[in-house]
Structure 1
């Protein structure tokens, strides 16, 4: 089974500031190299943070090629989303040709299938996928929540190994972790600390690309049982997380990354670039995080 433990960064897709907002592969390569140097666990490409819905198939293929090449062996999870089953199967057939660590897939959005249909859908994907399948429970995007019984039924499949948990139920999260068959990853950045304290595997996070060292240090502190240090990181990073999601993701994340010289602020319609107010607020919070981070560590626990 592919290990999912750690901090997986859901990366943005950079765009040029041109007439078509074409994909900026040089910036994408620069971002991947930056995260690799920060020693994050792995990357997630073509998720909602990566604006996959705004990319056609050829662009998605090119993004994955760039990410995999720039990752230089750092594990990469590929996103697979949609509501046309035939197209999903065709996309999965292409993903099967790539050296992916796993495939991350939500319920078909908008159509709101039944729980029995969800079981059939994900079991079918798992049978077709060469890489392990990670479920993505995110009802506020798909329109349908995955019931606990549905997820536990899917956990019986040997090729379904994890879940990105945005289900909004702490009780369901705790029961999934206690069951132990799926590696449970926090999908809401504000829940990373809580997930790990309950025994979860880690997180798939967009916020971490703006401050990867801080998120990795919080993860490491919890893995080593340094609860006081981990709490310090949680309290320091929480205002940053709130600031980065003040407007729809990934607009503010891109604005902060632009300030770091990594990408442009451009998002494709229907997203807009972050407001100046949101950009300024998030940048100020990040500056404070970087300034105060030097005071967090084992020495501060003595």
Structure 2
């Protein structure tokens, strides 16, 4: 695997749970197989969409092992290992490597809101401690702390830090880092897939791809084939579903699982508290937007 590139169309995969709340590894494997079959080139586990704050360390490792077996070399498996504690993050990185992950997703330490020198030290300590390629996860709306462009540029010098999942909503800052580094930039915002890709980004880590993987793969394929207008049309077709899944008051985890359940697809089922399931009205709206997307694309 090219350590600077995990593929183009990646999915921020939900973590399936059984009705009794236990981790459902069989459903995870079925979901992973479906996502790969329908175009995902990488699966990102135990991120925001994967309910990482609500799963144990052992569950995270079991999930990596199960999904790696289901992927069977057909897609990269990137393990989310970010925490608020540098020592814990490093321990999870070692566990993920032992479980067979191809790469690591490391979010900015949250809640404590460390200054930039501490953010940089955290990521350098992690990168020094692992042999796996690291994707930095910049999502200040959830962590409370940005990885500032200057910090990102310095971190890009580390040989193990190779990619970014970008949820900073700062296109100017993103372009500056892309211009000055070789970091592979993936948008974590589904509405920016084509925009960032056209600017030289590596692709996307999509939550909406849990339910519509083929469409997001088709966007990057169309652009790569020189069909920019087709790519733009496909991106615009995703807007109603993306808005309902990501910008209508419910977390993407909740909406993705609700829609997967309604469609009878693997990966649906309960979320873990404090998250709560979507109500019927929300599910009906999601289903209508999904059916519209499928029929139009």
Q: Shorter-chain TM-score: what band?
A: over 0.9
SS of residue matched to 2:98: coil
Give the conservation status (yes or no) of the 8 Å contact 2:61–2:99. Answer: no
Residue matched to 2:57: 57
Q: What are the within-5 Å matches in structure 2 for residues 67-86 of structure 1?
A: 67-73=67-73, 74-86=75-87
Residue matched to 1:296: none
Give the conservation status (yes or no) of the 8 Å contact 1:10–1:205. Answer: yes
Give the conservation status (yes or no) of the 8 Å contact 1:251–1:265. Answer: no
- Asked if 1:260 is matched to 2:259, the reply is no
CA distance in 1, matches of 2:262, 2:69: 25
- Give unmatched runs, 5+ long, in structure 1: 294-302
Residue matched to 2:283: 279
Q: What are the within-5 Å matches in structure 2 for residues 39-188 of structure 1?
A: 39-73=39-73, 74-188=75-189
Residue matched to 2:252: 249
CA distance in 2, matches of 1:12, 1:107: 20
SS of residue matched to 1:22: coil
Residue 100 of structure 1 and its aligned partner are, at CA, apart by 2.1
CA distance in 2, matches of 1:204, 1:212: 11
- Asked if 1:270 is matched to 2:270, the reply is no
Residue 225 of structure 1 and its aligned partner are, at CA, apart by 2.0
Give the conservation status (yes or no) of the 8 Å contact 1:265–1:274. Answer: no
Give the conservation status (yes or no) of the 8 Å contact 2:9–2:39. Answer: no
CA distance in 2, matches of 1:152, 1:31: 36
Residue 230 of structure 1 and its aligned partner are, at CA, apart by 0.5
SS of residue matched to 2:204: strand
Residue 177 of structure 1 and its aligned partner are, at CA, apart by 2.1
Give the conservation status (yes or no) of the 8 Å contact 2:259–2:268. Answer: no
Residue matched to 1:196: 197
Give the conservation status (yes or no) of the 8 Å contact 2:46–2:81. Answer: yes
CA distance in 2, matches of 1:194, 1:133: 23
- Asked if 1:29 is matched to 2:29, the reply is yes
**How many pairs align?**
291
Residue 130 of structure 1 and its aligned partner are, at CA, apart by 1.5
TM-score computed with the length of structure 2 as normaliser: 0.95
SS of residue matched to 1:283: helix
